[in-house]
Amino acid sequence: FSIHALFLATVALSPVTATAPSEKDAPGEDIYPPLWDLAPENLLDFPIKDNKIVINAWNYLERLGVYKNLLSSSAKYFTAFGSQNLGNILWGLPLQHGWQFHTGRLADPSSVTSCGYEDGDHLCISVRSWWSCMNYYLAVIPFLGAVEAGLFGQLQYEIEILPPEERRADFCYSVADCRSRIPKLMDEWKAYFEVNNNPATFSSFKLDDALRLMWKAHVTSIAYALPKFQDSLKYLSDPEANFGEDWANGVDFIAATHFPTDLQNTNNFQVFLPQRMLVEGDVLPSISDFSPEQNNVLVSLRALHKANKLTG
């Protein structure tokens, strides 16, 4: 892996310098994930059945609500990094999910169902979507890790995640279920939230320590999910499948820089990502309806992935 490739990737993937948002940076609605205001903002806003809070993680608003609860419950740890919770490093997760929704990546790529399409069930998240399955491990698992770590305090109800219609064995659905099936991954996310939630460490809270733990858990989630959903890539065009794998690989390198995934930095970065799914005939670096920067990011991610394969 060459220093030149790493330099290219760093330039492409770090278009902004991390800065704490100032008090006067009043955020506009468009910097939040799509439909953010409609997502459940309290755990008790989700349906309660048989003494359990029941969450349908295959509905965009409900999965977004999982993120919204994570953001609001962890806000107190990020007050020094900007007003209105803008400095919270968990923003990267719902913003990425919002980008996936906005660009059609959560819809059924096999087109067998109307799941996720504007003229069908627009808020549906398809279990056939490679992106949505990968994202489950960056949404539900962090959330259940936070529940286990006590981020939400002593809950009067258990949490239950509804299974999808297919591939039920590829996911877990409660703290106990996930703890028994993916203990290492649960440990990683629990460790992140425990550091934040520990009164002994809270007074000496360091952003870089939080970023290190968050990115460690993030990378572990992707490493676990990537082989599991390899077969879902078959539903995508070759350019989109390549981009998905390039993106998953590229996260390792972004993580190594401890990129600060607050609201502002994540938004600044995401404008360089493709704003639609790639289709057959999209050839890098000259996809005509992509900006030069978007083409360059895709080229850099491709080069990174190839270099990583060569060096193992």
pLDDT digits (tens, 9 = 90+) for 56-78: 999 999 999 999 999 999 998 88
Distances (CA, A) of 218 to 2, 68, 92, 209, 287: 25, 18, 11, 14, 30
Q: Check pLDDT > 80 for residue 1.
A: no
pLDDT digits (tens, 9 = 90+) for 218-245: 999 999 999 999 999 999 999 999 999 9
Domain boundaries, the chain: 31-271
Distances (CA, A) of 192 to 36, 113, 210, 211, 283: 24, 37, 7, 9, 40
What lies within 8 Å, CB to CB, of 267 at 6+ separation is: 31, 95
Q: Quick one: pLDDT band at residue 53, thresholds 50, 70, 90?
A: very high
Q: Is 229 helix (H, G, I), strand (E, B) or coil?
A: coil
Tell me the pTM: 0.90
pLDDT digits (tens, 9 = 90+) for 287-301: 999 999 999 999 999
Mean pLDDT of 168-197: 94
Q: What is the pLDDT of residue 28?
A: 56
pLDDT digits (tens, 9 = 90+) for 108-135: 999 899 999 999 999 999 999 999 999 9
- Closest to 74 (Cα-Cα) out of 91, 61, 54, 62: 91
Mean pLDDT of 174-180: 98
Cis amide bond preceding 27, omega within 30: no
Q: What number of residues does the chain have?
A: 312
